[in-house]
């Protein structure tokens, strides 16, 4: 019985431990209002001795770099192809095709 009274007193005083659900009275931490960064960018290098976690972090970052490089390559290729649409002469088209080939070779080499 005493526990019930204590719980009722806490809820009346606002100390029940429940989060305030009223959006007008709610306060937000600074973290919640900041723009979120990519999970890949937040990976930190762990302390010495944790080789498994360090290896996983390196693989995670390497995969992120590969994805970014692939996205950049595809965007550049799309830009080149849109330039091909605007070119009139065969020589200009050949130059763009050769440039695209060089970029592909460079991308595959990385």
Q: In this predicted model, what pLDDT tens digit does every residue of 8-59 receive, in sequence order?
A: 666 666 555 555 555 555 555 444 555 555 655 665 555 555 788 888 889 9
Orientation of helix 90-109 relative to helix 51-86, angle to 10°: 180
Beta carbons of 107 and 88 less than 8 angstroms apart: no
Is the C-alpha dihedral spanning 80, 84, 90, 91 positive or negative?
negative
- The more confidently predicted of residues 29 and 63 is 63
Structure tokens given for 18: 């429940």
Interior CA angle at 109 toward 104 and 110, to 5°?
105
Tell me: pLDDT of 74 over 80.
yes
Q: For the chain, give every domain's residue range.
A: 49-110
């Amino acid at each position: 019985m005493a526990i019930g009274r204590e719980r009722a007193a806490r809820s009346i005083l606002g100390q029940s431990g429940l989060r305030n659900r009223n959006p007008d009275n709610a306060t937000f931490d600074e973290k919640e209002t900041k723009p979120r960064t990519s999970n890949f960018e937040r990976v930190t290098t762990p302390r010495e001795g944790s080789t498994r976690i360090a290896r996983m972090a390196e693989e995670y970052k390497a995969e992120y770099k590969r994805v970014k490089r692939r996205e950049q390559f595809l965007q550049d290729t799309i830009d080149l192809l849109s330039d091909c649409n605007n070119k009139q002469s065969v020589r200009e088209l050949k130059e763009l095709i050769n440039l695209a080939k060089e970029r592909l070779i460079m991308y595959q080499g990385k």
